Structure 1
């Protein structure tokens, strides 16, 4: 696509490999930055400290390997050691990974995989008496998990990062979207995918509107219009800046915890923040 067609693409993916093109733009913090913010949360809450080992269970490929770059950077900055467990997207049972991490003596685990792997990891750890906090990237949660066997363990000590407030947040943006979406699609599950999709579509609308004002609705005109958008998305808890294609639109992450009473199954435990280690991090290292 890139260079040939110049059509604007807003992927629902957050790998740092997607950065650098004016035509393919990432909305939110990339996985590496998000992972640094997750580890910062554990440090700030005094769940881990200098000298500790942390586990990282991650998918092979763009997503997991980009998140691993983040955990290694955060570990270097904080004096931690990362114990790696690479998995395939087809690996659904995390028993072997939990056993290896328990044997290594890790004090916390990062999971950069899908909802199913996260639920297995947290559930197996709880069942084997391995009582540690687990943190996951934005892709490592689905509200349906709370109705599974892993539900109680997820509610206890699991945390997820995202570049928006969750759909169940009482803030104006999520509350209005949740109400309107439920009215339009009463049978659908409310989850953070709704926020991500809405944010991308409304951003596209904003770029089109600016391109219209500039009387240049060519593909290049729409790409150029996006470069002028800053201070976007505050009603969803994070401010985005699209002026630099080499940078993610934010380095901030909202940290959330599963909550059975909230629409979408998540509540905020730390509002949007960027860790010092994420601020100083050179993306693409």
Structure 2
């Protein structure tokens, strides 16, 4: 009876992932859903608990990173065709094509079908959203998530956050800072991934976090029913520049256009539902003037 009760409690506690991931750990890898993040060193199957989409992402050490950088000089043909060069054990929403990438034979060009997809959203759809300059997870160097929880859409709530810390004004700096935030969320807080659905830099770009279709870790009590857009930086005493403000509005409106956010959504600041100063006094005062603020 005690054993049955323990099993039931484990089931209620969330995904059973990690209970039998020792085969992957022995390889120095991390188990994750291979559909959502590119693993530079490649994936190995049958080493992880969970369904067939959970695979072992091998660690890309310093040597691997250096090799990837050297291979990139031969990737221009793939980029020109709208594809991405990666080891073929990675998920490809379209098909792999040879002869368009630098590096070994198993590093090929994934040319997406109808624009491909990222976190359940076709890349072509992001491109069709007015005023949106999107950097996908691969673009900013995201780590694979430990596991994923899908979220029912459309959601009717949007929360605005700020990361605190430094702001950023170009892809390189924004990517570096967002990687740091992801590391903190995963390593220090023990979360499965970076908490936010999207982040916005003062370069006017939107950086994909968990995306529209994956449950975030941003606003206690609302993670399964809302998305969060976080401005990179501290906006306690100053407002983000106009490029960042426009980008935040663009990704929310893109969500409406794609059917991921209801047209009558309610927008709030993190502090509206929690004991926090987030998203900073100045930014909070500003978003209260937005049409959907509630």
Scaled to the shorter chain, the TM-score interval is under 0.3
| Bigger strand share | 2
TM-score by length of 1: 0.26
TM-score by length of 2: 0.25
| Bigger helix share | 1
